């Protein structure tokens, strides 16, 4: 027996501990539909993507308003440089350590916060004020302000380009997408688009942007090299109608990671519309009914799942709903602020994006 135990110990010392398997989790920030607590309460909910999106745990967060009530979550993003997840609310930005699950810091900013984005190297955050005049450039470690970019556009959604050289800024009151060069903070614009821009996404090569617009059931396409709008697409076979939130027919748009399809939210019709991107043009190919009105959509990194804000997890290949997010009480969970994180044991090793960005290029594979 002693010889056997010594042999086992020697084998472990020589071979080392077997590496932990990579595991996929979905992090859902709540309240992620305005400040409505009926869609998942308050906190950071974790779901097991490798086990039919089963609920794993609820992580306590800050983000309370002056009356001690949970504040609207506006965005969620991850830095592998700091090993932290960031949650913005209409008042503050929170930084939580992904390994200890403890709050590192929470900072309130003048004029509030909106949907931010973290640089690919994880060192910098572009943080919009809450539908205000500017974006603040922050040190991701400390939250300290490094620079300010003033656009007077109703600062709202923010997307860092995958090469780290450009950041894309959307304001609620502008028909243009603002593009910032991170090297010197110089600004250019793409547009004008049909109406004020709402959610948008970009391809991995940063050649095209795909944008929702106010009053449009459909989307438009911009050329990020020339700065021009180059295509207008209306949804066929459906009519817009009253929506619960956001005030526009389509609030949510995503590229599949292979960049072969665009998926589009349709609030009134409680659906997602799918469009094929081909060499000969853009073709509407199908519709997926949802359990509620969608207000956002993203994809898993591998493209297997489409993940709208309604909590209906969709097999991207079959176009079928395969799971519905439920919390520890069995309540239906919805959120417009979700992000996928891959762990090797307790260590985060890769993260998705809250936007449905293209991943066909070399930067994001």
Assess if residue 15 is contained within a domain. Answer: no
Q: What is the pLDDT of residue 364?
A: 54
**Residue 67 in 3-state DSSP?**
coil
Reduced to 3 states, what is the DSSP secondary structure of residue 39?
helix
Sheet of 305-308: strand order equals: 297-299, 305-308, 312-315, 320-324
Contacts of 51 (CB under 8 A, 6+ apart): none
Residue-wise pLDDT for 68-126, tens only, equals: 999 999 999 999 999 999 999 999 999 999 999 999 999 999 999 999 999 999 999 99
Q: How many domains does the chain have?
A: 1
CATH number, domain of 341, equals 2.130.10.10
Q: What is the pTM of this model?
A: 0.94
Helix, strand or coil, per DSSP, at residue 14: helix
Looking at residue 325, what is its pLDDT?
98
CA–CA distance, 45 with 56 (Å, rounded to integer): 8
Report how far residue 340's alpha carbon sits from residue 127's, in angstroms, rounded to the nearest whole number. 20
Residue 212's domain spans which residues? 20-351
> CA-to-CA distance for 317 and 234, rounded, in angstroms?
23
CB neighbourhood size of 172 (10 A)? 17
Q: 51 φ, ψ to 5°?
A: -140, 55
Of 311, 352, 326, 323, the residue nearest 33 (C-alpha)? 311
List, for residues 176-217, the tens digit of each pLDDT value. Answer: 999 999 999 999 999 999 999 999 999 999 999 999 999 999
Q: Which residues of the chain have pLDDT under 50?
A: 1-19
Closest by CA position to 362, among listed 200, 203, 156, 220:
203
362, part of any domain: no
Cα–Cα distances in angstroms (integers) from residue 199 to residues 38, 269, 327, 336, 354, in the given order: 24, 18, 27, 11, 11
In a domain, 90, yes or no: yes
Q: Pick the closest to residue 29 from 126, 113, 110, 153 (CA basis).
A: 113
Give, as one character, the DSSP assignment of residue 356: B
Q: Is 356 domain-assigned?
A: no
Report the chain's C-alpha Rg in angstroms.
21
Cβ atoms 255, 300 nearer than 8 A: no
Nearest CA to 204 among 359, 25, 12, 28?
359
**What is d(CA 300, CA 49) in angstroms, rounded to the nearest whole number?**
9
């Amino acid at each position: 027996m002693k010889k056997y135990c010594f042999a086992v110990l020697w084998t472990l010392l020589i071979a080392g501990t077997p590496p932990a398997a990579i595991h996929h989790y979905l992090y859902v920030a709540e309240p992620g539909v305005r400040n409505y607590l009926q869609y998942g309460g308050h906190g950071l909910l974790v779901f097991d993507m490798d086990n039919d999106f089963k609920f794993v745990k609820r992580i306590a967060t800050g983000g309370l308003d002056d009356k001690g009530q949970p504040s609207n979550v506006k965005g969620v993003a991850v830095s592998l440089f700091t090993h932290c997840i960031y949650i913005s609310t209409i008042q503050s930005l929170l930084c939580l350590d992904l390994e200890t699950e403890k709050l590192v810091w929470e900072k309130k900013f003048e004029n509030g916060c909106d949907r931010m984005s973290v640089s690919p190297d994880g060192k910098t955050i572009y943080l919009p004020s809450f539908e205000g005049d500017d974006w603040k450039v922050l040190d991701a470690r400390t939250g300290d302000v490094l620079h300010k970019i003033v656009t007077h556009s109703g600062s709202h959604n923010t997307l860092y380009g995958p090469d780290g050289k450009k950041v894309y800024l959307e304001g609620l009151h502008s028909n243009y997408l603002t593009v910032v060069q991170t090297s010197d903070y110089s600004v250019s614009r793409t547009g004008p688009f049909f109406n004020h821009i709402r959610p948008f996404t970009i391809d991995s090569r940063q050649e095209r942007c795909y944008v929702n617009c106010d009053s449009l059931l459909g989307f438009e396409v911009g050329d990020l090299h020339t700065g021009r709008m180059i295509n207008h697409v209306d949804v066929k076979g459906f009519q817009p109608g009253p929506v619960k939130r956001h005030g526009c027919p389509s609030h949510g748009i995503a590229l599949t990671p292979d960049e072969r399809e665009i998926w589009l939210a349709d609030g009134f019709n409680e659906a997602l519309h799918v469009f094929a991107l081909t060499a000969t043009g853009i073709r509407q190919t199908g519709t997926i009914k949802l359990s509620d009105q969608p207000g956002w959509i993203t994809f898993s990194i591998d493209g297997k799942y489409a993940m709208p804000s309604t909590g209906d997890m969709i097999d991207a290949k079959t176009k079928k709903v395969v799971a519905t997010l439920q919390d520890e009480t069995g309540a239906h969970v919805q959120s417009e602020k979700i992000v996928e994180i891959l762990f090797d044991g307790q260590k985060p090793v890769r993260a998705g994006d809250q936007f449905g960005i293209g991943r066909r290029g070399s930067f994001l594979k």
